[in-house]
Amino acid sequence: MPRSLSLSIALALIVSAPAIAQSIETYPGTQPLTIEGDIASQMIDGIDRFLLREIEASVEDRTKHWNRDFSSSEAYNKSIEPNRKRLAHILGVRDDRVPFDAPELISTTNTPALVGKGEGFDIFAVRWPAFGNVHGEGLLLVPTDGEPIADVVAIPDADQTPEQITGLAPGVAAEAQFARRLAASGCRVIVPTLISREMRRRAPLGQNGRANLTNREYIYRSAFEMGRHLIGYEVQKVLACVDWFEKETAESNAKISVVGYGEGGMLALYAGALDTRIAVTCVSGYFGDRQSIWQQPIDRNVFGLLEQFGDAELAAMVAPRLLIVDAAKGPELTLPSDGGAPATLKSPDWDSISGELIRGIELVEGLVASQPPYAVSNGNGPADPDAALRRMLGSLAGKKEPLEHGLLSSAKSMPKASRELPNAASRQQRQLDEFDRHNQWLLSESPFVRKDYMKGLDTSSVAAFEASVEQYRDTFRHETIGHFDHELLSFNARSRKSWETDKWTGYEVMLDVFPDVFAYGVLLVPKDLKEGEKRPVVVCQHGLEGRPTDVFLGDHGAYHDFAAKLCERGFITFAPQNIYIFKDRFRTLQRKANAVGKTLFSVMVPQHQQIVNWLKTQSNVDPDRIAFYGLSYGGKSAMRIPALVTDYCLSICSADFNEWVLKNASTRHNFSYVWTGEYEIFEFDLGSTFNYAEMAALICPRPFMVERGHFDGVGEDEWVAYEYAKIRYLYQAKLGIGDRTEIEWFVGPHTINGKGTFDFLHKHLNWPKR
């Protein structure tokens, strides 16, 4: 290429961007919007970068949540008690455990409880009460010669059975059968069954399966909505065993240890962090850096875990008691995106393990009585817990160093079954059914729990109500939705004229929100707008996988160009691009946000706050008349965003309103999200706090409306009416402002009807019909 030609091309490239910018017709007071490509995709990418930075920053940010007192062991445990309570809360360890004298032996007239005999121990099939009507079930290994030297809860991985780590069934190498080896060494050992990762298509009874979920995700979904967690449930079963051991050994003489592998290692670590009665905690195939928890199976998703806790912080909570970390290779698997949450589970590498151990040691550096975490193995081989088991037994015997020989039995013979082994599949189903029944019982009780929760509302007058509701708004903002403590950036408003009809002009608008986070949407401006005239604005929100253009172009079957039709009636409208688009790409944003106690709405709320803030500065906008109207996922937004963005003067929820907690947690109703691929939809502890009636209370006394099609499959009319009746009661009966709320029922599907809602907008935005 001639030098003169290449120079000409270079000069053309240099001047092209300003030339393009100069050719863009902008909305008054904004800079040219020059960004090209799929702006929605770029929005998702930016939010992803933002959330990954928040996760990275969480390690340093945790220090503000701790106030450790190292003056003594007692003072230390007292000083971290608030952290223990927080951990128990987010794990869902809330239900009172059921006291019991001893586990039940499982036997029938035909089948004895004795399952088999090992070298120096007997094996029994047992069950024990944990909480509610939920029981642990598994095996009890009892030494036959003298009193046990210690009591141990041995927890297998989720895909191992009690029989496998006891040596009664194949599948686990002999050296890794830690329950058998501890029993042969003189320990009394109880082995609980965990919920497995078996995948099945789920559906209500009598229907074909839909979402392909592991057993663990199936229980997780309902539990999470109810402020519980499968992890918490299984920790409760472990702690119920600790209750029994303590009672049996007259409290002060108890020598109790918890040891687990894989998922069992996770439960052992959580149990050891929560309960100071556990003298030794041994974790195998689990310990490491938790910053990538969003990639792991969703049943490990603990809302807000990384705000206060990584594995180092959990290790520090075990102190001054002993924590043993066996750096053996953990379970590895990949879960598909087939209705359930996609996931990859990788064994923690040595760098991850050692880095977290070093952090844990540094966190308790000033605690003189602390035993530093004891790490064994180099992370390169299969599970081989010899050194870990020797250290555990030595500590329980009062030794400070691992024992090369002695307490750990060298017995290699496998126990012999004395009868047919317990049916693992039937036992698994019993455990699943008990958890499911408990979740459904919590669901049935939840209206009473929420009513008691909201009893602080003062409905003696509208003014008293507005004052009293603020405490709930604050909780909703910080605990339910999650709030990023960042100042909004300056608008840096950019725009370009992209559409035009004889009645309105459409501008794409982009606003900065946080670093890497922006708001984007389309502003439709009526052509008859006069200079200096102040008009109301309706923010028109699309639904799942939608685009701003869906609400004003092409007569989409769900939206019917409602933003354009409203503009033709004289309203200014704004159609934001929301972030629920690109399937797993946005759903994994929820996973990342949950890790630090946030949600998708932790991003969407500030986006909308910035949109409203900008709209209020526009010369033709009446800042007191900005309304929100959303369909489907936009209707979900209509319940949450105006509850927190109080600049919205009214809200309309279309094609979404529901007995929302029921819709998320029920395993009886066909319309439940338990059966679908929306694995991001579940919000922690709504069951105890904010259903749609309670969210509407946060919108009250501003006008609120529901648009409901009889044939809309998102719900059933009786449940929609049930939940809306509570809102009507608040507005009409308690506050005397019944004219500010309505529901429109129409014969139709999942769609904008645009009749009663349009009238509602004209009435409450004080804009004449045309």
| DSSP track, 443-510 | HHHHHHHHHHHGGG---SSHHHHHHHTHHHHHHIIIIII-----PPPP---EEEEEEE-SSEEEEEEE
Supply the pLDDT for residue 384. Answer: 58
CA distance 621 to 326: 64
| Res. 373 pLDDT band, cuts 50 70 90 | confident
- The larger pLDDT score, comparing residue 51 to residue 22, is at 51
- In terms of DSSP H, where are the helices of 24-156? 39-61, 73-79, 81-91
Checking 343-351 for CB contacts under 8 A at 24+ apart, the result is 343/295, 343/296, 343/297, 343/298, 344/295, 344/296, 345/296, 345/297, 347/285, 347/379, 348/286, 348/287, 348/288, 348/289, 348/379, 349/288, 349/379, 350/378, 350/379, 350/380
Per the model's pLDDT, the better-predicted residue between 301 and 384 turns out to be: 301
What is the distance between the alpha carbons of residues 575 and 582, in angstroms, rounded to a whole number? 18
Q: What is the pLDDT of residue 399?
A: 63
> Band of the pLDDT at 412, cuts 50, 70, 90?
confident
Question: What average pLDDT does this structure show over 76-80?
Answer: 97
Q: What is the mean pLDDT of residues 627-648?
A: 98
Look at residue 17 in the predicted model and tell me its pLDDT. Answer: 44
Contact (Cβ atoms closer than 8 angstroms) between residue 484 and residue 54: yes
**Three-class SS state of 598:** coil
**Chain center to CA of 753:** 34
Is 487's pLDDT higher than 70? yes
Does residue 661 carry a pLDDT above 90? yes
- DSSP, residue by residue, 144-190: SSSS-S-EEEEE--TTS-HHHHHTSSSSS-GGG-HHHHHHHTT-EEE
Q: Are 141 and 117 in contact (CB under 8 A)?
A: no
Angle between helices 311-318 and 263-274 (to 10 degrees): 50
Band of residue 16 on the pLDDT scale cut at 50, 70, 90: very low
pLDDT band at 369 (very low <50, low <70, confident <90, very high): confident
- Interatomic CA distance for residues 313 and 269, integer angstroms: 11
385: confidence class by pLDDT, cuts 50, 70, 90: confident
Confidence of residue 555 (pLDDT cuts 50, 70, 90): very high
8 pLDDT tier (thresholds 50, 70, 90): very low
Instruction: Tell me the pLDDT of the chain averaged across its residues.
Output: 94
Distance CA 393, CA 525 (A): 76
> Average of pLDDT values for 193-201?
97
Question: Tell me: the pLDDT tens digits for 122-170?
Answer: 999 999 999 999 999 999 999 999 899 999 999 999 999 999 999 999 9
Q: Which residue has the tokens 């300003």?
A: 18
DSSP lists the bridge partners of residue 538 as 573, 627
Using the predicted structure, report yes or no on whether residue 9 has a pLDDT greater than 50. Answer: no
pLDDT in tens, 92-113: 999 999 999 999 999 999 999 9
Tell me the mean pLDDT in the region 168-184.
96
Q: CA–CA separation, 544 vs 558, rounded Å?
A: 11
Residue 253, phi then psi, degrees to nearest 5: -90, 0
Q: Which pLDDT belongs to residue 626?
A: 98
pLDDT of 378 reads 55
180-189, 386-395, 444-453: least confidently modelled range: 386-395
Question: Considering only CA atoms, which of 693, 712, 503, 483 is closest in space to residue 598?
Answer: 483
Query: In the numeric block, which tokens belong to residue 183?
Result: 């029993």
Length of the chain: 770
Angle at 444 between CA 442 and CA 447, to 5 degrees: 95
Q: What is residue 264's three-state secondary structure?
A: helix
Beta bridge pairs of residue 626: 537
pLDDT of 6 over the 60 cut: no
Encoded amino acid at 751, one letter: T
Query: Strands 572-576 and 517-526: what pairing?
Result: antiparallel
Q: How far apart are CA 398 and CA 373, in angstroms?
A: 16
pLDDT at 406 over 60: no
Give pLDDT, residue 374: 78
What's the one-letter identity of residue 703? P
Q: What percent of the chain has pLDDT over 90?
A: 89
pLDDT value for 400: 55
Distance from C-alpha of 137 to C-alpha of 162, rounded to nearest angstrom: 9
CA distances from 727 to 345, 461, 694, 734 (A): 44, 16, 8, 10
Residue 208 has pLDDT above 90, yes or no: no
At 512 the three-state DSSP class reads strand
In whole angstroms, what is the distance from residue 564 CA to residue 567 CA?
5
pLDDT tens for 218-238 read: 999 999 999 999 999 999 999
Characterize the bridge pairing of strands 333-335 and 343-345: antiparallel
* 700: three-class secondary structure by DSSP: coil
- In the predicted model, what is the mean pLDDT of residues 641-665? 98
- Distance between CA 563 and CA 752 in Å, rounded? 11
Q: What are 376-381's contacts with CB under 8 Å, separation 24+?
A: 376/324, 376/325, 376/326, 376/327, 377/326, 377/327, 377/328, 378/327, 378/350, 379/327, 379/328, 379/329, 379/347, 379/348, 379/349, 379/350, 379/353, 380/329, 380/350, 381/328, 381/329
Classify residue 88 as exposed, middle or buried by CB count within 10 Å of its CB (0-12, 13-18, 19+).
middle
Terminal CA-CA length for the chain: 64
Average pLDDT of the residues in 248-263: 86
